[in-house]
Amino acid sequence: MSESFFQSFILLLLVTDPFGNVPLFVSTLRQVAPERRHRVVLRECLIAFCLLLVFMLVGRPFLDALQLSEVALRIGGGVILFLIALRMVFPQPGGVFGQTHAEAIEPLIVPLAIPALAGPSALVTVLLFSSQAKMSMWLYAAVISLVAVVWLAVLLAAERLQRVLGDAVMTAFERLMGLILTAIAIEMLLAGVRAYVVSM
């Protein structure tokens, strides 16, 4: 169980990529009054956390309603994670999720909570949690909670991190996380293909 917990934690942490989101948060919050920045970060993390939690809890009925199999979700999730990982390894001008500019006003939900934290890949990941059910739901909820704590710790210190480490180190760290996520995505994709071949 502890191995599944750790694997789930690492997977969701890599998918949500708080370190890679540091430049986005810094640039987006630049127009926000300094005394409100911590409140905005806390609010956006809370929104993303609630969305992931709800998506995980309704994941199984959602899949059943759409008549989606676990194999299809695993293969589709592997493809999405692989594409996200490629953008982390080979950075694009708009960032991992293609943002082209920072909002000139205080952000609400978009782009910080969605898609920076609770993006498509994160939603697919928590859907996989609910469909695989290797652990009880409260343990998966604990995984999401622990990841949210990491978000807060990293993003509340975003400006300081970027100033101390510099853009080059942050980019290198994001590429390392992208490399690990690539391996996880390929493993997920292969597992889905294996399961499909066995079911034929």
Domain ranges of the chain: 2-195
pTM of the model: 0.74
pLDDT one digit per residue (tens) for the chain, 200 residues: 576 899 899 999 988 989 888 877 887 787 788 889 999 999 999 999 999 999 898 877 877 787 877 777 778 777 877 887 787 777 665 554 454 444 446 778 877 888 789 877 788 889 888 777 678 889 999 999 999 999 999 999 988 888 888 877 877 877 887 787 788 788 878 888 888 888 87
SS3 for the chain is CHHHHHHHHHHHHHHHCCCCCHHHHHHHHHHCCHHHHHHHHHHHHHHHHHHHHHHHHCHHHHHHHHCCCHHHHHHHHHHHHHHHHHHHHCCCCCCCCCCCCCCCCCCECECHHHHHHCCHHHHHHHHHHHHHCCCCHHHHHHHHHHHHHHHHHHHHCHHHHHHHHHHHHHHHHHHHHHHHHHHHHHHHHHHHHHHHHHHC
